[in-house]
């Protein structure tokens, strides 16, 4: 099949053809991350790439590309279409490439309602770029289209520098589109100077995976929304009367706040280990609900004894979750990784639910205690936004603080 129709008709088309033309070099093995409906793949075929791995997370977009793309790039025998999360693919594959391209991966879609992550958040971290580096041959290239805003380009360049320990080369077209290409080896005839790294931005990491924030901060629109929620909540208490505040059970309130943070951290951890897919979300919520069910069953069938013992166990498990890196799970196969990671990350959830179920079993005002727990969950959800400032690891510290307050405020 001919792919001559992919020849650029204007400077805008050079954005797609840039990595194949500017370096006057041919590529045998190319990885396209975020291949979409196939345009990046069609361009690679036009430039006679012999082997292409096209990774796309959305199966519907893949099917649309197979049916409607005018050059049908996914139908070529040299193209291997991989329907999975790209970060997950990078962690599980050991294949090396001459060129790795980030396509248009800006999904504008939140991973879930529990957190501020987008589907592509873990693609744009220094840790992810190091994964990319490990898949490049010695003379390989890493290519990504950037943005008109200068600080986006600055941020990408900083992350490239931290991952590859060298400055990227940057080319602009019509002052509206910027291309970042990290060169893995010297290139003859490349006169363009390397990009000057800015210190006015912060690099996104796996712990702080917020590529779309210039620096750690809580955007004003978030602050306004959070303040509105707080003011509305206060207004309800004013209407209900000042005595309603005194009826809140602080023990259940802090249990609710802490548990919301544990849920958020669990989703974040599994997104990194398995990728940002809806299947992963389903497995996470299945594991959480299973731990809740097992905790209720345990409390129903057994005497739980002293809460002091259960809180001590909970703090030990939270400390382990904070101190032990996720990388220890990556050496296992997928099934073993899921089992071990579930036991590790969801064991605090099991213990926390044993504490909650045991406390609720003896509740004298179950309606007030349950309402206090729900109100605490709202506060935990608001507290989660602190991850925009301090990263996700520190949510464990905040959750531990809430659990300490819950232990301190147990009503005997």
Count other Cβ atoms within 10 Å, centred on residue 257: 27
Instruction: Give the best-scoring range by mean pLDDT among 75-84, 119-128, 161-170, 192-201.
Output: 75-84
Mean pLDDT of 1-21: 59
Max CA separation in the chain (angstroms): 80
Mean pLDDT of 311-324: 93
pLDDT of residue 176: 57
Instruction: Give the best-scoring range by mean pLDDT among 105-119, 287-301, 327-341.
Output: 287-301
Contact 153, 146 (CB under 8 A): yes
Contact 270, 283 (CB under 8 A): yes
Mean pLDDT of 12-26: 74
pLDDT of residue 53: 98
The DSSP bridge partners found for residue 181 are 143, 169
Distance separating alpha carbons of residues 103 and 84, to the nearest angstrom = 15
Distance separating alpha carbons of residues 349 and 219, to the nearest angstrom = 30
Nearest to 311 by CA among 345, 354, 263, 375: 354
Residue 151 has pLDDT above 90, yes or no: no
Distance separating alpha carbons of residues 249 and 247, to the nearest angstrom = 6
Instruction: Give the best-scoring range by mean pLDDT among 38-47, 98-107, 233-242.
Output: 38-47
Distance between first and last Cα of the chain: 77
Which of the 8 DSSP states describes residue 75?
G
- Using left for φ > 0, alpha for ψ between -120 and 50, and beta otherwise, residue 241 falls in left
Which of the 8 DSSP states describes residue 330?
T
pLDDT of residue 256: 94
What's 4-183's CATH class?
Answer: alpha beta
Q: How confident is the model at residue 116 (pLDDT cuts 50, 70, 90)?
A: low
Count other Cβ atoms within 10 Å, centred on residue 199: 7
What pTM was computed for the model?
Answer: 0.83
pLDDT of residue 125: 92
Vertex 331, ends 330 and 332: CA angle to 5°?
95
Distance separating alpha carbons of residues 400 and 192, to the nearest angstrom = 51
Mean pLDDT of 275-291: 78
pLDDT of residue 110: 44
Count other Cβ atoms within 10 Å, centred on residue 220: 8
Residue 400 has pLDDT above 80, yes or no: yes
């Amino acid at each position: 099949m001919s792919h001559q129709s992919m020849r650029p008709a204007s400077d805008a088309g050079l954005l797609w053809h840039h990595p194949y033309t500017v370096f006057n070099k041919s590529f045998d093995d190319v990885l396209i991350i975020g291949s979409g409906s196939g345009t990046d793949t069609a361009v690679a075929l036009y430039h006679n790439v012999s082997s292409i791995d096209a990774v796309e997370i959305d199966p519907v977009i893949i099917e649309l590309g197979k049916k409607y793309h005018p050059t049908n790039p996914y139908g070529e025998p040299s193209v291997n279409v991989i329907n999975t999360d790209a970060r997950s693919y990078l962690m599980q594959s050991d294949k090396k490439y001459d060129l790795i391209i980030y396509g248009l991966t800006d999904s504008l879609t939140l991973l879930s309602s529990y957190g501020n992550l987008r589907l592509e958040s873990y693609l744009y971290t220094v840790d992810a770029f190091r994964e990319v580096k490990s898949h490049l041959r010695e003379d390989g290239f890493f290519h990504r289209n950037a943005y008109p805003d200068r600080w986006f380009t600055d941020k990408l360049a900083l992350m490239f520098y931290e991952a590859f320990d060298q400055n990227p080369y940057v080319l602009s077209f019509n002052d509206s589109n910027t291309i970042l290409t990290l060169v893995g080896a010297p290139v003859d005839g490349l006169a363009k100077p390397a990009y000057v790294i800015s210190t006015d931005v912060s690099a996104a990491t796996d712990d702080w995976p917020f590529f779309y924030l210039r620096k750690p901060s809580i955007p004003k629109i978030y602050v306004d929304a959070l303040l509105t929620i707080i003011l509305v909540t206060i207004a309800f208490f004013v209407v209900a009367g000042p005595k309603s505040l005194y009826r809140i059970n602080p023990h259940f309130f802090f249990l609710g706040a802490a548990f919301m943070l544990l849920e958020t951290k669990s989703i974040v951890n599994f997104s990194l280990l398995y990728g940002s897919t809806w299947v992963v979300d389903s497995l996470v919520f299945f594991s959480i609900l299973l731990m809740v069910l097992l905790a209720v069953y345990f409390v129903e069938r057994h005497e739980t004894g002293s809460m002091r013992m259960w809180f001590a166990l909970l703090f030990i498990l939270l400390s382990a979750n904070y101190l032990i890196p996720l990388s220890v799970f990556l050496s296992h196969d997928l099934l073993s990784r899921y089992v071990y990671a579930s036991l590790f990350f969801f064991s605090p959830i099991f213990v926390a639910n044993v504490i909650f179920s045991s406390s609720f079993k003896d509740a004298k005002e179950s309606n007030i205690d349950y309402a206090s727990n729900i109100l605490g969950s709202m506060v935990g959800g608001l507290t989660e936004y602190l991850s925009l400032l301090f990263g996700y690891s520190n949510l464990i510290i905040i959750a531990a603080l809430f659990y300490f307050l819950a232990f301190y405020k147990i009503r005997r």
